[in-house]
Structure 1
Amino acid sequence: MRLSFAALALSAPLLFAALPSYAAPSDMAVAAPAAEGMSDAKLQAMSAAIKAGQFQQITSVLIARHGKQVFEAYYDGDVQTRRNTRSTTKTVTAMLAGAAIAQGALPGVDAPISRYVKDRTPVANPDPRKEKVTVEDLLTMSSIAECDDDNQYSRGNEERMYLIEDWVGFYRDLPVRGFTAWAPRPEASPYGRAFSYCTAGVTTLGAVIQGAVGQPLPAFADKVLFGPLGIDKPEWQFSPLGLAQGGGGLGLTSRDLLKLGQLYANGGQWNGKQVLPASFVKAATSPHANARQDTDYGYLIWLQTFAGHKAWAMSGTGGNKVIIVPDLDLVAVITTTNFNVRQPHAISEKLLTEHILTAVEK
């Protein structure tokens, strides 16, 4: 997500590592790293490396193991700082789609989106195939629209969307993409879907959810997701027409992000309550499209492997990440301001593999 971003003021690092439970204002249980099979010495070495600038501008790292927070450190801002999560917001939008399905507002992921955005009938490039685009097409970044944020010349590139008022209309007006030898047709692609990263499609999915549930996306999110998790005052970005941006830029604290990751790690449960259906979480974290070599894509979440461990990753520009590693029962949050740094995702992934995962001892 590249929409307007205000730089955070630098401050001295604030470190909370292995806090005793009585000292933690968070509503997650807190434990010493060793109690949950992690090395405090290695985590402190990681923190020293971050403060030395070895990973550029890391702003916070939080880690949970076995559902308990074992590490929390801030290198810019503090506990209350809301991070511009960039495209990690997309996974939140997927969660809201799951909640809408659970309520029956959406009949399922195979629901055509056209019935929920009737006021935005395609004006340009009409094509009957557009009426068959489904919620799942948007969840998996595999709709037929010519939309590719990784291609600056794409008609649907995210930056072009911000130039006009109606972001949903922008998506609905896109031409149907062609398929070539280097962009194979869906039937020739793994899982039968041709992946193309498209923020405009996720923005439109937010409007679809809003139309299905009959209330603004932020209000629905507060009711079904943020409220149950104790996430307070999320800061949404909005289109010129007032649509909450489901495609990026949602302001959440680092602890909020940890809760969202833990929700998926718990199969949709939080404090004994089933916030999202376990069946949806399973579907969301299963491969539906192949994004690139060695990387699949679920429902607006990346499916990767780090140091031999399969992981689910909420991911945003600058290397902002919420990473769930199921076989280790571990959730890690890495926030950054590495927006103008080369290969920022590789930087965050190096921090994960060389420090966080190696700190797991049992």
Structure 2
Amino acid sequence: MTKLHVPVSLAIALAAIPAPVTAQPVDFAAVDASIEAGDFEQVTSVVIWQDGEILHEAYYAGDAETRRNTRSATKTVTAMLVGAAIGEGHLDSVAQPLFPFFADRGPNLYPDPRKQAAPIEDFLTMSSLLECNDENQFSRGNEEKMYLIEDWAGFALDLPVRGFPAWEPKPGDRPYGRAFSYCTAGVTLTGAMLERATGESLPDFARRTLHEPLGIAEPEWQFAPLGFAQGGGGAGYRSRDLLQFGRLLLGKGEVDGVRVLPADYAEAMVTPKAQVMPGFDYGYLTWLPTFEVAGEQVPTYAMNGAGGNRVTVVPGRNAVIVITTENFNVRQPHAITDRLLTEHLMPLLD
């Protein structure tokens, strides 16, 4: 395991990220030993930041420069980029319809005025009316079916409108008036929309509006077969880069006095907009779970990715915890991360 002995890049230095403490607190030794012993399967890094300093930084595979494939944590970055596009005037607001950005493609399958009118906010909240559910293998919009074809944007545009049988409540009968359905294709389409709205590739726009202001190194992007960057997942970031995204959520669009996202948009990102399940809400491509820690209910914001990869923001503790893993073929990887987070890491925060 590597701890705090890796070089820090110039980009990180310019971002004025607080240097790690030179001596690891004794409290973290037991956690490190447990992770190294495989008690949490294949955790690859942990970074804990609180009140302006890094309390703990440990690498159990790779080092500080290793790009971590955090899968769907990229979705939260895409939501941030929507905010940046609004801030620069490329988009009017989240109320702007998304489908008209693809009008040059001609009619899509299952034409419906509700598809044409669907606002960007519906895609940010995983609540568009497209029949798309990654948790249902029979869904026409299931993510795995998208990867079988060349035109990923067309895949999403051609989806039919979702139906609501009698045993399933309609959006208007649910909290926040939305029906949550986890849909990677919709976020992929949102990333493609951003390229059309801004006139820049997603990597170029992200570099200019997010990465450079935050001191984030160029990630390893995934690309669709037709060439546009995948906003729905798979970008590889360093663990410290993920920390910066968490700090951006914590600071409501501002880090170290630098305003990166419009304040009202950043606030909306972490405000409940849809309900995943009772007691578990969702903002703009950002999870809003509340955990029980030592008998206390602790609200958090989170960037989540497959394998239990997670950036957890604990606003009540002014803290950010980054956990990266390679638990992609492990049963219940998110539960493993939950256990590490709530039983071992969050109790160590002041």
| Shorter-chain TM band | over 0.9
Q: Distance in 1 between matches of 2:60 and 2:308?
A: 15
Counterpart mapping for 1:111-130 below 5 A = 111-130=96-115
User: 8 Å contact 2:290–2:300 — kept in the other structure?
Assistant: yes
Q: Distance in 2 between matches of 1:331 and 1:182?
A: 40
User: 8 Å contact 2:20–2:57 — kept in the other structure?
Assistant: no
2:129 is matched with 144
1:300 is matched with 285
Q: Distance in 2 between matches of 1:309 and 1:348?
A: 16
Higher mean Cα deviation, 281-290 or 181-190? Answer: 181-190
User: 8 Å contact 1:33–1:71 — kept in the other structure?
Assistant: no
2:2 is matched with 14
Counterpart mapping for 1:237-248 below 5 A = 237-248=222-233
CA pair 238-82 structure 1, distance change in 2 beyond 3 A: same
Does residue 151 of structure 2 align to residue 157 of structure 1? no
Q: Distance in 2 between matches of 1:182 and 1:233?
A: 47
- How many residues of Structure 1 are paired with residues of Structure 2 in the alignment? 340
2:315 maps to which of 326, 337, 349 = 326
2:172 maps to which of 169, 187, 191 = 187
2:331 maps to which of 339, 342, 345 = 342
1:233 is matched with 218
Aligned partner letter, 1:16: L
User: 8 Å contact 1:296–1:304 — kept in the other structure?
Assistant: yes
2:247 is matched with 262
2:19 is matched with 30
1:351 is matched with 340
- Per-residue CA distance 1:100-147 (angstroms, 9 max, x = gap): 011111000000012222233443211121101111000000000000
Q: Distance in 2 between matches of 1:31 and 1:256?
A: 14
Q: Distance in 2 between matches of 1:55 and 1:255?
A: 21
Secondary structure of the 2:338 match is helix
CA pair 284-238 structure 1, distance change in 2 beyond 3 A: same
1:7 is matched with none
Higher mean Cα deviation, 267-276 or 161-170? Answer: 267-276
Q: Distance in 2 between matches of 1:226 and 1:220?
A: 9
Deviation at 1:193, TM superposition (A): 0.4
Counterpart mapping for 1:147-226 below 5 A = 147-226=132-211
Secondary structure of the 2:289 match is strand
Does residue 47 of structure 2 align to residue 62 of structure 1? yes
Does residue 116 of structure 2 align to residue 131 of structure 1? yes
Aligned partner letter, 2:155: F
Deviation at 1:228, TM superposition (A): 0.6
Higher mean Cα deviation, 261-270 or 344-353? Answer: 261-270
What residue ranges of structure 2 are gaps of 5+ in the alignment? none
User: 8 Å contact 1:90–1:202 — kept in the other structure?
Assistant: yes
Aligned partner letter, 2:255: W
- Please report the RMSD computed on the Cα atoms of aligned residues, expressed in angstroms: 1.8
- Per-residue CA distance 1:26-64 (angstroms, 9 max, x = gap): 841135499xxxx92322211111011110000000010
Deviation at 1:16, TM superposition (A): 2.7
Q: Distance in 2 between matches of 1:351 and 1:67?
A: 23
Aligned partner letter, 1:14: T
CA pair 305-240 structure 1, distance change in 2 beyond 3 A: same
Does residue 236 of structure 2 align to residue 251 of structure 1? yes
Deviation at 1:294, TM superposition (A): 1.9
Q: Distance in 2 between matches of 1:73 and 1:31?
A: 11
Aligned partner letter, 2:141: G
Deviation at 1:170, TM superposition (A): 0.3
- Per-residue CA distance 1:313-357 (angstroms, 9 max, x = gap): 100000000000100001000000001111100101110111111
Aligned partner letter, 2:44: T
User: 8 Å contact 1:42–1:355 — kept in the other structure?
Assistant: no
User: 8 Å contact 1:30–1:68 — kept in the other structure?
Assistant: yes
Q: Distance in 2 between matches of 1:43 and 1:249?
A: 30
Secondary structure of the 2:116 match is helix
2:260 is matched with 275
Q: TM-score, normalised by structure 2?
A: 0.93
Aligned partner letter, 2:289: Q
User: 8 Å contact 2:99–2:157 — kept in the other structure?
Assistant: no
Q: Distance in 2 between matches of 1:29 and 1:58?
A: 24
Q: Percent identity?
A: 54
1:105 is matched with 90
CA pair 315-181 structure 1, distance change in 2 beyond 3 A: farther
